[in-house]
Amino acid sequence: MTGKTDLSVVIVNWNVKDLLKKCLASVYRQTLGISFEVFVVDNASPDNSAAMVAAEFPQVKLIANLDNKGFAAANNQGIREAKGEFILLLNPDTEILDNALAKAVELTRQNVRIGVLGCRLLNSDQTLQPSARRFPTLADQFLILLKVHHLWPDMEIFRRYFAQDFDYSAAGEADQVMGAFFLIRRETLDQIGLLDEGYFIWFEEVDFCRRAKDAGWKIAYAPEVEIIHHCSQSFKQVLSLSKQKIFNRSLLRYFQKHRPLWEYLLLAALNPLSLLLAYIFQSAKKAKGVAIKR
């Protein structure tokens, strides 16, 4: 491949070797008509993911980290080396369908104001997986930290935040699209910079979309670009205490950067109660599991 590279695909992997293998095979099998390069940034996976990539996909540009640097920092490692006109951040638990990457490049190239493009995500059974949300507000995040969404998930405030009115059958714009498939225009990166490495995981793509929109770029959704995302993450899922700590830190960083100071301070004050509730939910879940086993 010589000359300009149309697309750089950056895949951050941690401990999902078999899914990563499927993902890479689908990228090479299903990408036609464009020039592309693939980076795998492995965050010290204990399952020998890096060795698999080196042995079975020698064309991949492998970055094997000695420790887990987190999602944002690892993506930035790939982005810094990428040569593509467009950069796709792609989860390792995805499979490409029907030349989706070439379609995404062409669509974004046709609309010069698209800074980020998301696609139609499908669950493993190929049912629709929601992938667009509105930006966080104090009210919805306050209730989520208090675990109210586990009790009353159909409240209007959650329906709004999770954009349950979004039309996934039509092209459109969103506040944010899921980071499982996150196509970025090179000019957007040049203007607003890389992912914020202050986020270990969670909210880094929300932060990027916020910065892109503030700079005048569109966050677009394309239904004709389809992939399978095997690991659907429902907002109803109960986070473990350790994950809740990371989630809360990321949420607070987002509010510190993009919301009024008083909102950040209120959520920061709520943090201990949120962690206590996470511990209670986690303990109740374990106790239920033990009861079922008996």
Residue 37 to residue 105: CA distance in whole angstroms: 13
Query: Which pLDDT score is estimated for 1?
Result: 40
pLDDT of 204 above 80 = yes
Other CB atoms closer than 10 Å to residue 61's CB: what's the count?
A: 17
The structure tokens listed for 84 are 């593509």
Q: What integer is the mean pLDDT of 153-166?
A: 97
pLDDT tier at 282, thresholds 50, 70, 90: confident
Query: Which pLDDT score is estimated for 97?
Result: 98
Query: Which pLDDT score is estimated for 294?
Result: 40
pLDDT of 2 above 70 = no
Residue 277 to residue 279: CA distance in whole angstroms: 5
Q: What integer is the mean pLDDT of 50-66?
A: 98
pLDDT of 189 above 60 = yes
| Closest listed residue to residue 163, CA positions, set 194, 127, 192, 129 | 129
Is 260 in a helix, a strand, or coil?
coil
Q: What percent of the chain has pLDDT over 90?
A: 87
Query: Which pLDDT score is estimated for 114?
Result: 98
Instruction: For the chain, list the domains and their CATH numbers.
Output: 5-131+168-234 (3.90.550.10)
- Which tens digit of pLDDT belongs to each residue from 83-105? 999 999 999 999 999 999 999 99
pTM over 0.85: yes
- Which tens digit of pLDDT belongs to each residue from 18-57? 999 999 999 999 999 999 999 999 999 999 999 999 999 9
- Which tens digit of pLDDT belongs to each residue from 116-127? 999 999 999 999
Query: Which pLDDT score is estimated for 236?
Result: 39
Q: Inter-axis angle of helices 100-110 and 17-30, to 10 degrees?
A: 60
pLDDT, averaged across the chain: 93
Residue 137 to residue 208: CA distance in whole angstroms: 16
Query: Which pLDDT score is estimated for 293?
Result: 42
Q: What integer is the mean pLDDT of 220-240?
A: 75
